[in-house]
Chains A and B, each alone.
Chain A
């Protein structure tokens, strides 16, 4: 019984990983999945000149950080035991605490902390190399696709 559950969780993580790695926009921003499973996802996005919002400072555009947060939030939902692989964002709020340090990879960590029949709620934080001071924080609501009752 326990084995079966574990197998299913591993299966789910694998499917979610395949799904996320096939997303064209995440690929365009060179995002990579570092960790996934059980409603938790960690995704990183390397620094690139293409993402810069202010050439005077070299700081990445806020929109690129939002894109990372959205992807990571969606991944967390897809990896949740009660949701299917496949979700859409309903609402996403992002707070920018400080500019990301130019040249550094940004890593987002999202937790799907509650799932209802139709909605999944996530919290996320993004960091550069300084893991003590987040660059941004996000909260979001996503749709939940469920297995058809058999």
Chain B
């Protein structure tokens, strides 16, 4: 019985984090909004780090609906993009050691995006998780939920359809 021993966990983690960082760093709009990502295994949580520039109504104050929409759309695209990249790395088509704008796969394109604003966004950090409900060769449907202090009290949710990049 000749089995390859599993890779040390820190090597796997490091490779996954590098793949995620490569996607985040190459997207200027993600930096502009101050969005970062937490990763546990393949689960991503997008974090909208609070900044005064994200305010839409200074009198309440409340986060701007456009900032919220952007945040949810970024979370949805990253969920799809990260899994595309992860598959490419696992299948050996892309090396995690040589991630560059040339080797990174193209990101999915938004076809439509519908945001449901449930309550006003408070002036503090916000979190979002996306769930891919269907991912075919050409189209994907993604649902995103966003909350602040309480995971059970969503302040926004969204559903979007995306055109998947052509591969190979």
Residues of A that sit less than 8 Å from B by CB: 22-29, 49-56, 60-64, 66-71, 74, 86, 88-96, 99
Does B80 touch A at the CB level, under 8 Å? Answer: no
B53 contacts across to A, CB distance below 8 A: 24-25, 27-28
Q: Which 7 A/B pairs are nearest by Cβ-Cβ distance? A: A67-B66, A63-B70, A25-B64, A61-B29, A89-B65, A70-B66, A66-B69
Task: Check A50 against B69 for contact (C-beta < 8 Å).
Answer: no
Which residue of chain A has its CB nearest to the CB of B110? Answer: A62
Of the candidates A24, A52, A70, which one forms a contact with B28 in the assembled complex, judged by CB atoms under 8 Å apart? A52
Task: Check B113 against A88 for contact (C-beta < 8 Å).
Answer: no
Of the candidates A51, A56, A86, which one forms a contact with B29 in the assembled complex, judged by CB atoms under 8 Å apart? A51
A51 contacts across to B, CB distance below 8 A: 28-29, 32
B101 contacts across to A, CB distance below 8 A: 55-56
Task: Check A23 against B32 for contact (C-beta < 8 Å).
Answer: no
Does B122 touch A at the CB level, under 8 Å? Answer: no
* Complex Cα spacing A67 to B67, Å: 6
Which of B7-15, B55-63, B134-142 is near enough to bind chain A? Answer: B55-63
B110 contacts across to A, CB distance below 8 A: 62, 94, 96
A53 contacts across to B, CB distance below 8 A: 27-29, 77, 107
Task: Check B28 against A92 for contact (C-beta < 8 Å).
Answer: no
Task: Check A68 against B111 for contact (C-beta < 8 Å).
Answer: no
Task: Check B73 against A92 for contact (C-beta < 8 Å).
Answer: no
Of the candidates A28, A54, A64, A66, which one forms a contact with B107 in the assembled complex, judged by CB atoms under 8 Å apart? A54
* Complex Cα spacing A24 to B66, Å: 11
Task: Check B62 against A25 for contact (C-beta < 8 Å).
Answer: no
Task: Check B116 against A95 for contact (C-beta < 8 Å).
Answer: no
Task: Check B73 against A24 for contact (C-beta < 8 Å).
Answer: no
A26 contacts across to B, CB distance below 8 A: 56, 64, 66
- List residues 54-92 of chain B with CB under 8 A from any CB of chain A: 54-59, 62-67, 69-71, 73-74, 77
A66 contacts across to B, CB distance below 8 A: 66, 69-70, 73, 113, 115
A50 contacts across to B, CB distance below 8 A: 28-29, 31-32
Which residue of chain A has its CB nearest to the CB of B35? Answer: A63
A86 contacts across to B, CB distance below 8 A: 57, 59
Task: Check A91 against B64 for contact (C-beta < 8 Å).
Answer: no
Does B112 touch A at the CB level, under 8 Å? Answer: yes
Task: Check A95 against B117 for contact (C-beta < 8 Å).
Answer: no
The contact string, 1 if C-beta is below 8 Å from chain A, for chain B 113-134, is 1111100100000000000000
